[in-house]
Amino acid sequence: MDTFILIEIVAKIVFVFAVCLGVVPLLVWFERRGSAWIQGRVGPNRVGPFGLIQPVADVAKFFFKEFWTPANANKWYYHLAPIFALVAPMAAMTIIPFGSHLVIGDYIINLQVARVDSGVLFILAFAGLEVYPIIIAGWSSNNKYSILGALRGASQIISYEISMGLALLSILLVYGTFDLHKMVEWQNQRFFGFLPAWGVLVNPIGALIFWVSTFAETNRLPFDLPEGDSEIVAGYHLEYGAMKFALFFMAEYVAMIMASALMCTLFFGGYNLLPGMHALVDLIVSVHGFAEAGRQNATAILQFLSFFLKVSFFMVVMIWVRWTLPRFRFDQVVNLGWKILFPLALCNVVIVSIVMYSMN
Amino acid sequence: MGTVNVSREYTLKEKIYVIALFQGMILTLKRFIDGFFFRKHYTIMYPEQKRNYSQNFRGMHFISVDENKTENCTACYLCQTVCPAECITIVAEERNPATNSYGVRKEKRPLSFDIEALKCCFCGFCEEACPMDAIKLSRNYELSVTSRQEAVYDLKHLKREVKGRG
Ligand code: SF4
Ligand code: SF4
C-alpha cells in the first residue's frame, strides 16, 4: 500500500479517537457543572481552573482503586462487557464524515475514516451492538439488581431500535442513498435560495422520532431505566468498580457523541457550513490570497468546526434534557415506544414514500 | 378492599406531553442562565464560608473557667454518671488546702478529665447535670481526626475561656 495512504488512514483514526476521547472529560465536566448551575449549586470547582481538571482527577482515582471481581461472576463475560460498551460506539464513529476533503499536493483526503457505501447499515449494526454490553454485564455479574437492569435495558433498546430504524428508513427515502457522505452532500442544496436543505426540514417527524429513540438507545435520562439508581441501585453496572466502571461511564459519553454526530449528519446538514460561514471562507481566502486548493482546505477546516459546533449543541441538549425530565416509569417507556413512536414512524415512512413517489 | 385507582382525565394538552416538555426545558434554561451568568447558587462554600448554626446546636464540649483560669469543674462525677454513652472518665483530686483560695466552694478538682468524642452522642445530658455549669457543649462541629487516639480529649484541650456557647 502507498505509504501516504497508510499515514492518512492512521492520522484520521488517531484524530477521530483523540477528539472523541478528548471531548469526554469536557462533557463530564459540563454535565456536572451544568447540572449544578441548573439546580442552583456550584459543582466541582476546586481542581484546576473552573474545576476543569476534575474528570482527570476522577480517572486517576479510578486507576488506583482495587480491581475487584465478584466471586460468582462469569469472569470472561464480566470483563468483556465494559470493553464491548466502549468499542461499539467508538467503531461507529469511524463512518461519520466530519468534513468534505482536504487537498495536500496531489492527494485528496476524505475526512471520514472509513467510507462505507452502506453507512447506515453499519450504524444500525453498531447501534444493535449497544444492547450486548448491558445484557452481558447484567447477566455475568450474578446480581439480581444487575439482571433486572439488563432485562429493562434489553427490552427498552430493542423496542426503540424499531422506531429508530423506521425513522432512518424515512430519511433514506428522501436521500436515496446509504452513503453518509452523499447524504451530507444532498443537504448542501438550498430551498428557495436561502433555507439550508437540512433533513429536519424535509422530515421533521422522522428527526423527532430519531432523536427520542437515540435517547433510549444511549440510556440517557429520561430513559435510564437500566441504571435506575433509585430502584435498582446502578442496574447493569452495579458490580463494576474502578476502571471497569470508568469504561462504562466513558462509553455512555462516547455513545452520546456518536448519537449527536449521527443526528447532526442525518438531519442537520452534517459538516455543511453553518449559515453565514461562507462569508467567513471568502474573507479568509481574500485575506491570504489562497488558490483553489487553499480555499478547499479552509472550507474543510471550517466545515469541521461547524460539524463540531452542531454536535456540541446536541450534546448540550442531551445534558439539558437529562436535568429537566425525571425518569419515566417502565410502562410509560414501553407505551411510548410501541404505541406512539412505532405507529408514528410507520405512518411517517408511508407518507414520505408517497410524497417521494409522486414527486419523481 | 382492593386497590383504589385514583386517576383523572388528562386534557389533550397534557396528553401531548411535548408542550409540557418544552415548558420544563425553558424553566431549566432559565435556571442555567441564573447559575451560569449570574453565579446564583445556594451552596455554602464550606471551608471559606461556614454555616451559622443556632445557639442550641450541640457540638464539641468545653469546660468553662473562672476569672483565675481555674476550671469550674469540682469533679462531682455527675456528668460521668449521667452520660448514657459512658464516654467521660474523671480522676478526682483534692486541692491543696493551703493554697486553695476558693475555700469550700472548690475543694476538689479533676486531675484528669477525658472525653472520648467517638463514643459521645452529643445528647447534652452532661451539660444538664453539671451543678457548676462547668461542662458545656460548644457550637464547634469540625471534629475530624486522623486516629482514634486523637478523638480522646483531655482537660487541657477542653479548658477554654468561652462565654456563652462559643
Ligand atoms: S453529650 Fe451525652 S454522650 Fe456526650 S459526654 Fe455528654 S452526656 Fe455523654
Ligand atoms: S463537669 Fe460538672 S458535672 Fe462533671 S464532674 Fe465537673 S462539676 Fe461535676
DSSP-derived secondary structure letter, B65: B
pLDDT at A182: 81
- Contacts A40 to B, Cβ<8 Å: 31, 34-35, 40-43
Q: Are A146 and A135 in contact (CB under 8 A)?
A: no
pLDDT at B21: 84
Cell triple for A2: 502507498
CA distance A98 to A100: 7
pLDDT higher than 70, residue B1: no
pLDDT at B84: 92
Cell triple for B28: 431549566
For residue range B105-162, what is the model confidence (pLDDT) as tens digits? 788 888 888 888 888 998 989 988 988 888 888 888 888 889 888 888 888 777 776 6
Query: What is the average pLDDT across A250-266?
Result: 87
For residue range B40-86, what is the model confidence (pLDDT) as tens digits? 888 888 888 888 888 888 888 888 888 777 888 888 889 899 999 98
CB contact under 8 A, B31 and A38: yes
Cell triple for A254: 462516547
Query: What is the average pLDDT across A20-28?
Result: 86
Q: Taking each helix axis as running N to C, give the angle between helix A292-322 and helix A242-267, from 0 to 180 degrees, rounded to the nearest 10.
A: 120
The region of weakest confidence among A84-98, A252-266, A272-286, B135-149 is: A272-286
Q: Which of B63, B125, B128 to mutate to test the pocket of ligand 1 (most atoms within 8 A of CB)?
A: B125
Edge-to-edge strands, sheet with B108-116:
B88-94, B108-116, B152-153
Instruction: Calculate how far, in angstroms, residue B126's C-alpha sits from the geometric centre of ligand 2.
Output: 8
CB contact under 8 A, A40 and B41: yes
- 3-state class of B94 per DSSP? strand
**What is the chain B residue with the closest CA to A33?**
B36
3-state secondary structure A237-295: HCCCCHHHHHHHHHHHHHHHHHHHHHHHHHHCCCCCCCCCHHHHHHHHHHHHCCCHHHH
Q: How many residues does chain A have?
A: 360
Residue A108 CB neighbour total at 10 angstroms:
13
DSSP-derived secondary structure letter, A49: G
Cell triple for B117: 468524642
B87 lines ligand 1 (CB under 6 A): yes
Block residue for cell numbers 462541629: B141
Provide ipTM, 2 decimals.
Answer: 0.72
> Where do the H-state alpha helices sit in A277-341?
277-288, 292-322, 330-335
Cell triple for B15: 396528553
User: Any chain B CB within 8 A of the CB of A323?
Assistant: yes
3-state secondary structure A18-47: HHHHHHHHHHHHHHHHHHHHHCCCCCCCCC
Instruction: Calculate how far, in angstroms, residue B146's C-alpha sits from the geometric centre of ligand 1.
Output: 22
Instruction: Calculate how far, in angstroms, residue B75's C-alpha sits from the geometric centre of ligand 2.
Output: 5
- Contacts B32 to A, Cβ<8 Å: 34, 37-38, 320
CA distance A271 to A262: 11
CB pairs under 8 A between A and B: 42
Residues 25-44 on A with a CB inside 8 Å of B are: 34, 36-42
pLDDT at A71: 84
Question: Cα(first)–Cα(last) distance of chain A, in Å?
Answer: 43
Nearest CB to B40; choose among A40, A324, A325: A40
For residue range A29-62, what is the model confidence (pLDDT) as tens digits? 888 888 888 888 888 888 878 888 888 888 888 8
CA distance A103 to A293: 6
pLDDT at A11: 84
Question: Which ligand has the minimum distance to the alpha carbon of residue B114?
Answer: 1
Model confidence band, residue B164 (pLDDT cutoffs 50, 70, 90): low
pLDDT higher than 60, residue B166: no
CA distance A222 to B24: 13
Nearest CB to A37; choose among B24, B32, B45: B32
B135 lines ligand 2 (CB under 6 A): yes
pLDDT at A224: 82
B75 lines ligand 1 (CB under 6 A): no
For residue range A163-190, what is the model confidence (pLDDT) as tens digits? 888 888 888 888 888 888 888 877 777 7
Percentage of residues in chain A with pLDDT exceeding 70?
99
Question: Which ligand has the minimum distance to the alpha carbon of residue B83?
Answer: 1
pLDDT higher than 60, residue A310: yes
Query: What is the average pLDDT across A106-122?
Result: 77
B83 lines ligand 2 (CB under 6 A): no
pLDDT higher than 80, residue A294: no
CA distance A46 to A54: 8
Model confidence band, residue A236 (pLDDT cutoffs 50, 70, 90): confident
- Contacts B35 to A, Cβ<8 Å: 36-41
Which distant-in-sequence residues (6+ apart) come within 8 Å of A312 by Cβ?
Answer: A260
Going A261 to A262 to A263 to A264, the CA torsion angle's sign is positive
Q: Are A41 and A325 in contact (CB under 8 A)?
A: no
B126 lines ligand 1 (CB under 6 A): yes
Angle at A40 between CA A35 and CA A46, to 5 degrees: 70
pLDDT at B42: 85
CB contact under 8 A, A37 and B27: no
CB contact under 8 A, B32 and A320: yes
pLDDT at B82: 92
Per-domain boundaries in chain A: 68-359
Model confidence band, residue A1 (pLDDT cutoffs 50, 70, 90): low
pLDDT at A181: 81
CA distance A312 to A309: 5
Query: What is the average pLDDT across A264-280?
Result: 78
